[in-house]
Structure 1
Amino acid sequence: MRSAIRIFLAFTVLAVLIIEGLALMRSHSQDLPWAELDLAAPPGRFTAAKIAELGEDAPRCRALLAAAGNQSRPAPSRSEGESCGYEDGTRVSLGIAPSPGGLITSCPVAAALGVWERQVQAEALRLLGTGVSRFVHAGSYSCRRLYNRGDGPFSEHATADAVDILEFELADGRRISLLRDWNGAPADAAFLRAVRDAACPVFSTVLSPDYNEAHRDHLHFDTADRGRAGWRACR
């Protein structure tokens, strides 16, 4: 009799653990490597890797953008030799407007920006008491090598898989720039670091003024698929 009770209790505990585990997986699907990417959900452990993989499947990327309500739209492809150009160009359209307008990135970058901007708004309200109306950028596509060197690997900008952000304009008209405010007023500096940190779960590489002198005036985000090589950066 006691053995039967022990077996019953063991199965009961196991059933409860299974049920709780399934509920946890449903509520935190972005933390599961096999779960379908949802650009409308909060980012999880595998979101950046899943977004990077969209570079190999533009139709799927565009379908996920539409499912999440992202208004970014396809742009004409571009080609400049063997190492430069893109086929999944996407004209970025977000609640936080890019300035200047007409920003074209790869589809994964547009997807990552859409996830990231929600956290940007949350951090602005928390730290600055207002929302963000636009971000000032230095563009995405540029047919060049890393650090504009004459040789060596090409930059992720050469395929529009990167974007550089210089400044944020708040809804109340204030402007917060990386160059001026990274070490400026405490709230402004905290905001810039918060939006840098918020980019890390959705972009493969995030570089800021903390990384080196070359990034003293901007945040560099890219969605290069480096997951197989095991290399990512958030600095």
Structure 2
Amino acid sequence: MPPALAQAEFAVCRLALHALGVRFQPQPPIASDTDPACGIVRPVLLTDLGAGVAVDGAPVTTCQTALRLALWLRREVAPAAAALPGAPRVERIATGPGYQCRERVGDGSAKLSEHATGAAIDITGFGFSDGSRIDIASREAEGSMAEAFQKAVRHGACLYFTTVLGPGSNAAHDTHLHFDSAARKGGWRICE
């Protein structure tokens, strides 16, 4: 992508984040001394996804990853939380890494992870206005509201990200949801 177009796309993305009330800080470009394929040209550090939802872990991602995450929160997570007993509001999202120069884990390949370009984020849990928490965990056939919430937000993420992994996908994802926007032929998505 030509630099002027990339800069314009970044400016539009930042405007969209501002319109959603997302608090973020543009960061200097990130490059890796060990792997030239790793890095982010225009990274952002996330602190709040809008509507007062703090982001624990202060992940650094691409602007597009931040925007996808904010839209998912507004359109999928907030309504799912409202369906929980007492209709608590989401106040915090706990995250694992955004940017991290490394290979994929859990699939046996030596391919570079989407984390290595800032196009991925891991979600480890949610904090609510009533003081309760739902941490991501294996909950298959548990029959609980936590399981229902986790499934709703996980499957809803497939509308915003091209890869959604979590408990049951493989052992490496048993304690978090992994979202990324890897480009695939024909717009194909992995929603596990």
Q: TM-score, normalised by structure 2?
A: 0.82
Question: Once the 2 structures are TM-superposed, how far is the Cα of residue 166 of structure 1 from its aligned partner?
Answer: 1.0
Larger mean Cα displacement after TM superposition, 153-162 or 143-152: 143-152
Following the alignment from structure 1 to structure 2, what is the Cα–Cα distance between the partners of residues 185 and 96? 27
Q: Which residue type is aligned with residue 78 of structure 1? A: I
Following the alignment from structure 1 to structure 2, what is the Cα–Cα distance between the partners of residues 55 and 193? 36
Question: Stretches of 4+ moved more than 6 A in 1?
Answer: 148-151
1:40 matched residue in structure 2: none
Alpha-carbon distance change, 157 to 183 in structure 1, aligned in 2, over 3 angstroms: farther
Q: TM-score, normalised by structure 1?
A: 0.68
Following the alignment from structure 1 to structure 2, what is the Cα–Cα distance between the partners of residues 105 and 167? 18
Structure with greater strand percent = 2
2:113 matched residue in structure 1: 155
Structure 1 residue 207 corresponds to structure 2 residue 168: no
Partner of 1:134: helix, strand, or coil?
A: strand
Unaligned runs of 5+ in 2: 1-5
Following the alignment from structure 2 to structure 1, what is the Cα–Cα distance between the partners of residues 175 and 22? 28
Instruction: Report the RMSD for the aligned CA atoms in angstroms.
Output: 2.5
Matches within 5 A, 1:56-67: 57-67=9-19
1:21 matched residue in structure 2: none
Larger mean Cα displacement after TM superposition, 117-126 or 143-152: 143-152
8 Å contact 1:127–1:190 — kept in the other structure? no
Q: Deviations over 1:163-218 (max 9, x none)?
A: 11111111111111112656656101100111101211111111111322221111
Structure with greater helix percent = 1
Q: Quick check: which has more Rg, 1 or 2?
A: 1
Which among 13, 21, 24 is matched to residue 72 of structure 1?
Answer: 24
2:38 matched residue in structure 1: 84
Unaligned runs of 5+ in 1: 1-53
Question: Once the 2 structures are TM-superposed, how far is the Cα of residue 221 of structure 1 from its aligned partner?
Answer: 0.5
Following the alignment from structure 1 to structure 2, what is the Cα–Cα distance between the partners of residues 186 and 206? 22
8 Å contact 1:77–1:86 — kept in the other structure? yes
Q: Which residue type is aligned with residue 187 of structure 1? A: M
Q: Deviations over 1:90-113 (max 9, x none)?
A: 12121321113x321111110011
Which among 67, 91, 107 is matched to residue 111 of structure 1?
Answer: 67
In the alignment of these two chains, the number of paired residues is 180
Alpha-carbon distance change, 141 to 183 in structure 1, aligned in 2, over 3 angstroms: farther
